[in-house]
């Protein structure tokens, strides 16, 4: 137990004066011991209390002071003898502070006190060093001793110092930074007895002040005179004062509008309402699930058997609050409340039954099979109808019978066909692609037939007046177009690639007619004169693509509808008269009232515009009641009727009375919606035509039928 006894040298409790001189020195004996027996060292540290064992340096004793009577620490006196300095201590190597590399080549590292060489310790190679770090647990707590040129393990005291320095504490373990203060000059019984100055006390300390007296007198005087009044007692001020506010005249400004009053409660709010007011289970659920803002009424009706059972209404404060929010946050607008019958808003129009006759039901139907019927036309006397489908078949049939009398089969699609409005002759024009054929129905009276032949295929062809050669050729038919007996009397060949003719518009007199082809050039519109076999293009250029053309029934005016505008030209003066702006995105159809003063325009955007030509260039009335695009519209030539057909498969019939006096507006009354056509591929009724003699309507549908609507 040698190591134990050596350890005790460092225990402060057991230390003597001579222990101190070992303070900075590293004890070689203890080092070697520690290296040999590390477990024993641990035992030793366990045995002694840690703070005591880790003490380095002089150790103080705590004694009671004679003077103050308090405990104080007394350190042992340091004797300034040889032993008191550690530098005089036993160092085995006495070479002093010389660079040790001087001894690098030597076997020794210096000399001891006796002058004998101190030899180097046996030094292992790097592997030994490494093994030592692994095997020896004290190796990481050892430091290199310069004078002995070898590693020495650090003592626990030194390690403790290092730990304290690392923690930023005082390295001395016994140092107490919070020692109690020693009161030398303060505290009970230690007051200074002697004054600092020996000057006598001044008079002002004990004589009452004259100036203060003056000030007080001034205040007293002011109080007496009533210049200083005491404050009103608090209780009187806090009470709100009321008086006759309206006793004095008020400004004659009008009062601000009173806030609207809260709605009065209804039966549902009663504590005992009739049973029918109580909500059903689903109503209750709906109420509870809805947000407060979405509820129709802010409470659920409830029934209580007695007044004593009625609980507090939990939203009471919230409702008062929301009323107040309404009062100061809601913008108030004075609204005129319309106390009228909503039905009075519906315009009072004459009853349709008083506006008879108009087509009401379908009298007959002619089927073209499955092919769309694009064009129909009624003969001027109203007896015959021709209809053409998309595959070039033209049927001639009687209006009343509805059976085809004659069929013509063309090789290409028929774009348009129109009966000549003259009554002394009888023929019609069928427009194919780039070709117009003049056909005459069979079984005509002899006089009419001969006149027609004389007009269309005279023995001597009339001389064309045109100086320049026209691109349009009028010629007798070739043999191959149709069978021999069905041969057209006359054919007009339009210029090449002018496209399918979309429309044929006859002039009222039956001599001129205009054709409209599909191309978007100025040559899409042609005006043909039958008697002189002459064709001309009226426009050098046209703005936009022409959708529809029409002749004025009385004046030499010509209407051209482009995609968005309708332009009226004077043919004799050769100038533009007026541009109408219907506001339709895409015009589909156009017709002129027989009086010539009114115009209706239909569009693919479902709008139908009525223009009074004497008035504005904006429509007089815009009707929008078809569900799909309007395809065709037409005025009846005699009766005050017009009809419109649409892709929704309906035909709508209107009464349209135009007055001769300028003061009254035209009267438009919706009469009847005729349903009967099926829509097919998004197309409904493609064409409507009136029978000129009767209030009968013909409609051609995309479903391949032509219907006759009779009154």
Partner 1 sequence: MARLKQKGKAGAAKAYVTRTSAVKKLQISLADFRRLCILKGIFPREPRNKKKANKGSSVPTTFYYAKDIAYLAHEPVLKKLREHKAFAKKLARALGRSEWSSAKSLEDNKPVYTLDHVIKERYPTFIDAVRDIDDALCLVALFASLPANQRIPSSLTQNCSRLTAEWQLYVMHTRALRKVFLSIKGVYYQAEVMGQTITWLVPYQFAQSIPPDVDARVMLTFLELYQTLLGFVFFKLFTDASLVYPPPMDALKDEAAAGVGAFSLQEKKQDSAAAPSGTEVRADGKKVTGKDVRATIKSLAASVQTEGEDEIVKAHETAPSADVDATDDFVAYPSTSNPSEVAELPTLHSISTLAPTIQTKLFASCVFFLSRESPRSILEFVIRSFGGRVGWPASVGSGSPYDENDESITHVIIDRPVVEKPDETPEEKERRRKRKYVQPQWVVDCINKNAILLEEPYLQGKILPPHLSPFGETIGAYDPEEMQHLGVGALADEEDEEMDEEADADVEEDVVAKAVESADPALLHAAELAAEAAGVDSAAFEQQVGKAARRQSKKAAPAEAPEEEMNKMMMSSKKRKLYEKMKYGERKRAEEKASLEQKRKHIAKRSKA
Chain residues 578-637 in contact with partner 1, contact rule CB under 8 A? 623, 625
Closer to partner 1 by CB, 265 or 469: give it.
265
Q: Pick the binder of partner 1 from 47, 220, 327, 662 (CB under 8 A).
A: 327
For residue 207 the two structure tokens come to: 């004589």
Closer to partner 1 by CB, 259 or 662: give it.
259
Least separation in angstroms between residue 240's CB and partner 1 is 6
b/e sequence 138-157, b meaning 16+ C-beta within 10 Å: ebebbeeeebbbbbbbbbbb
For residue 212 the two structure tokens come to: 């203060």
> Which of the ranges 319-327, 411-419, 458-466, 700-708 carries the binding residues for partner 1, by CB under 8 A?
319-327
Closer to partner 1 by CB, 366 or 671: give it.
671
> Which of the ranges 188-196, 263-271, 371-379, 396-404 carries the binding residues for partner 1, by CB under 8 A?
263-271
**How many CA within 13 A on the CB side of residue 700?**
29
Q: How far apart are CA 146 and CA 112, in angstroms?
A: 15
Least separation in angstroms between residue 570's CB and partner 1 is 34
For residue 506 the two structure tokens come to: 């006859």
Tally Cβ neighbours within 10 Å of residue 561: 26
Closer to partner 1 by CB, 122 or 340: give it.
340
Q: How far apart are CA 275 and CA 264, in angstroms?
A: 21
Considering only residues 264 to 303 of the shown chain, the ones binding partner 1 according to CB under 8 A are 264-267, 269-277, 280, 299, 301-302
For residue 363 the two structure tokens come to: 């009298």
Q: Pick the binder of partner 1 from 63, 78, 223, 325 (CB under 8 A).
A: 325
Least separation in angstroms between residue 603's CB and partner 1 is 16
Closer to partner 1 by CB, 348 or 459: give it.
348
* Partners of 688 in the β-ladder: 699
Considering only residues 195 to 234 of the shown chain, the ones binding partner 1 according to CB under 8 A are 226-227, 229, 231-232, 234
Give the alpha-carbon dihedral of 652, 655, 660, 663, to 10 degrees.
-90
Closer to partner 1 by CB, 576 or 627: give it.
627
Q: Pick the binder of partner 1 from 99, 240, 445, 469 (CB under 8 A).
A: 240
Question: Are 604 and 586 contacting, i.e. CB atoms less than 8 angstroms apart?
Answer: yes
Burial (CB < 10 A; 0-12, 13-18, 19+), residue 489, is middle
Q: Pick the binder of partner 1 from 1, 345, 460, 663 (CB under 8 A).
A: 345
Q: How far apart are CA 660 and CA 240, in angstroms?
A: 80
Least separation in angstroms between residue 477's CB and partner 1 is 48
Region of residue 275 (left: phi > 0; alpha: psi -120 to 50; beta: else):
alpha
Sign of the torsion formed by the C-alpha atoms of 228, 231, 233 and 236: positive
Beta-strand relationship, 108-111 and 117-119: antiparallel
For residue 422 the two structure tokens come to: 């003259």
Least separation in angstroms between residue 15's CB and partner 1 is 58
Closer to partner 1 by CB, 62 or 334: give it.
334
Considering only residues 630 to 689 of the shown chain, the ones binding partner 1 according to CB under 8 A are 668-673
Least separation in angstroms between residue 279's CB and partner 1 is 10
Closer to partner 1 by CB, 231 or 541: give it.
231
Least separation in angstroms between residue 608's CB and partner 1 is 10
Least separation in angstroms between residue 589's CB and partner 1 is 18
Which of 375, 495, 504, 363 lies closest to 438, judged by CA? 504
Closer to partner 1 by CB, 182 or 345: give it.
345
Question: Are 438 and 496 contacting, i.e. CB atoms less than 8 angstroms apart?
Answer: no
Q: How far apart are CA 296 and CA 268, in angstroms?
A: 13
> Which of the ranges 344-352, 495-503, 526-534, 596-604 carries the binding residues for partner 1, by CB under 8 A?
344-352
Which of 553, 562, 564, 473 lies closest to 512, judged by CA? 553
Least separation in angstroms between residue 312's CB and partner 1 is 4
Sign of the torsion formed by the C-alpha atoms of 169, 170, 174 and 178: negative
Closer to partner 1 by CB, 187 or 265: give it.
265
Q: What is the distance of C-alpha 621 from the center of its chain?
A: 37
CA geometry: angle 481, 486, 487, nearest 5 deg: 50
Least separation in angstroms between residue 659's CB and partner 1 is 17
Least separation in angstroms between residue 612's CB and partner 1 is 16
Q: Pick the binder of partner 1 from 78, 216, 217, 259 (CB under 8 A).
A: 259
Least separation in angstroms between residue 276's CB and partner 1 is 4
Least separation in angstroms between residue 275's CB and partner 1 is 5
Q: Pick the binder of partner 1 from 70, 176, 316, 467 (CB under 8 A).
A: 316
Least separation in angstroms between residue 648's CB and partner 1 is 14
* Partners of 707 in the β-ladder: 365, 699
Strand order in the sheet with 630-635: 630-635, 641-646, 650-657, 667-675
Closer to partner 1 by CB, 204 or 241: give it.
241
Least separation in angstroms between residue 302's CB and partner 1 is 6
Least separation in angstroms between residue 182's CB and partner 1 is 35
Q: How far apart are CA 594 and CA 658, in angstroms?
A: 10
Considering only residues 515 to 574 of the shown chain, the ones binding partner 1 according to CB under 8 A are none
Closer to partner 1 by CB, 75 or 321: give it.
321
Q: How far apart are CA 316 and CA 298, in angstroms?
A: 11
Considering only residues 347 to 386 of the shown chain, the ones binding partner 1 according to CB under 8 A are 347-349, 351-352
Least separation in angstroms between residue 501's CB and partner 1 is 34
> Which of the ranges 188-196, 213-221, 252-260, 555-563 carries the binding residues for partner 1, by CB under 8 A?
252-260
Q: Pick the binder of partner 1 from 67, 134, 199, 317 (CB under 8 A).
A: 317
Closer to partner 1 by CB, 492 or 623: give it.
623
Strand order in the sheet with 621-623: 587-592, 598-603, 608-612, 621-623
The angle, 0 to 180 degrees and rounded to 10, between the axes of the packed helices 28-36 and 38-47 is: 110
Closer to partner 1 by CB, 408 or 654: give it.
654
Number of residues that bind partner 1 (CB under 8 A): 86
Q: Pick the binder of partner 1 from 127, 167, 307, 663 (CB under 8 A).
A: 307
Q: Pick the binder of partner 1 from 122, 167, 194, 242 (CB under 8 A).
A: 242
Question: Are 439 and 428 contacting, i.e. CB atoms less than 8 angstroms apart?
Answer: yes
Closer to partner 1 by CB, 96 or 240: give it.
240
**245 near partner 1, judged by CB under 8 A:** yes
Cβ neighbours of residue 367 closer than 8 Å, sequence gap 6 or more: 704, 705, 706
> Which of the ranges 16-24, 79-87, 345-353, 381-389 carries the binding residues for partner 1, by CB under 8 A?
345-353
Q: How far apart are CA 709 and CA 685, in angstroms?
A: 13
């Amino acid at each position: 137990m040698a190591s134990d006894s050596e350890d005790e040298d460092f225990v402060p409790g057991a230390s003597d004066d001579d222990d101190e001189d070992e303070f900075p020195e590293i004890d070689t004996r203890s080092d070697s011991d520690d290296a040999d027996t590390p477990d024993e060292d641990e035992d030793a540290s366990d045995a002694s209390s840690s703070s005591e064992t880790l003490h380095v340096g002089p150790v103080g004793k705590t004694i009671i002071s004679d003077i103050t009577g308090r405990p104080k620490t007394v350190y042992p006196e340091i004797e300034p003898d040889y032993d008191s300095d550690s530098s005089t201590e036993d160092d085995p190597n006495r070479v002093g502070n010389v660079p040790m590399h001087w001894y690098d080549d030597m076997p020794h590292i210096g000399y001891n006190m006796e002058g004998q060489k101190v030899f180097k310790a046996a030094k292992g190679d790097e592997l030994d060093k490494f093994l030592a770090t692994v095997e020896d647990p004290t190796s990481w707590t050892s430091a290199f001793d310069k004078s002995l040129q070898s590693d020495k393990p650090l003592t626990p005291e030194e390690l403790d110092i290092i730990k304290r320095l690392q923690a930023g504490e005082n390295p001395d373990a016994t140092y107490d930074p919070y020692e109690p203060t020693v009161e030398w000059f303060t505290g009970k019984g230690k007051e200074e007895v002697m004054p600092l100055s020996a000057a006598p006390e001044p008079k002002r300390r004990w004589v009452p002040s004259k100036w203060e007296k003056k000030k007080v007198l001034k205040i007293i005087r002011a109080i007496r005179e009533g210049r200083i009044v005491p404050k009103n007692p608090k209780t009187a001020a806090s009470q709100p004062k009321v008086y006759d506010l309206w006793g004095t005249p008020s400004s004659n400004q009008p009062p601000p509008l009173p806030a609207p009053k809260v709605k009065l409660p209804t039966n549902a709010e009663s504590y005992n309402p009739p049973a029918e007011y109580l909500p059903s289970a689903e109503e209750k659920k709906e109420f509870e699930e809805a947000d407060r803002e979405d509820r129709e009424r802010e409470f659920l009706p409830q029934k209580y058997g007695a007044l004593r059972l009625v609980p507090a209404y939990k939203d009471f404060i919230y409702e008062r609050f929301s009323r107040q929010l309404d009062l100061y946050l809601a913008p108030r607008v004075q609204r005129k409340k319309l106390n009228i019958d909503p039905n009075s808003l519906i315009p009072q129009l004459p009853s349709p039954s008083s506006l008879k006759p108009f087509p009401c039901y379908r009298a007959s139907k002619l089927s073209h099979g499955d092919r769309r019927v694009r064009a129909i036309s009624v003969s001027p006397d109203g007896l015959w109808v021709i209809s053409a489908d998309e595959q070039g078949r033209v049927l001639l049939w009687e209006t009343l019978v509805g059976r085809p009398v004659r069929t013509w089969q063309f090789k290409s699609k028929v774009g348009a066909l129109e009966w000549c409005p003259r009554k002394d002759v009888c023929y019609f024009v069928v427009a194919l692609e780039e070709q117009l054929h003049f056909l005459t129905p069979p079984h005509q009276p002899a006089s009419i037939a001969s006149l027609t032949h004389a007009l269309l295929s005279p023995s001597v062809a009339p001389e064309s007046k045109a100086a320049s050669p026209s691109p349009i050729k009028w010629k007798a038919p070739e043999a191959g177009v149709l069978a021999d007996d069905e041969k057209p009397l006359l054919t007009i060949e339009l210029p090449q690639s002018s496209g399918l003719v979309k429309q044929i518009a006859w002039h009222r007199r039956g001599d001129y007619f205009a054709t409209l082809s599909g191309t978007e050039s100025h040559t899409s519109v042609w005006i043909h004169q039958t008697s002189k076999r002459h064709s001309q293009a009226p426009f050098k250029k046209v703005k936009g693509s022409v959708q529809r053309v029409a002749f004025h029934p009385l004046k030499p005016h010509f209407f051209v509808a482009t995609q968005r505008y309708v332009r009226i030209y004077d043919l004799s003066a050769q100038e533009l008269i007026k541009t109408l702006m219907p506001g339709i995105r895409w015009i589909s159809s156009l017709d002129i009232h027989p009086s010539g003063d009114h115009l209706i325009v239909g569009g693919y955007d479902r709008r139908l515009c009525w223009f009074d030509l004497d008035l504005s260039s904006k429509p007089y009335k815009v009707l929008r009641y078809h569900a799909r695009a309007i395809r065709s519209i037409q005025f009846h030539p005699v009766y005050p009727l017009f009809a419109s057909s649409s892709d929704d498969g309906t035909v709508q019939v209107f009464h349209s009375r135009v007055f001769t006096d300028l003061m009254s507006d035209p009267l438009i009354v919706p009469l009847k919606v005729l349903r009967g056509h099926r829509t097919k591929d998004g197309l409904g009724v493609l064409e409507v035509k009136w029978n000129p003699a009767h209030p009968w309507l013909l409609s051609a549908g995309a479903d391949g039928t032509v219907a006759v609507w009779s009154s």
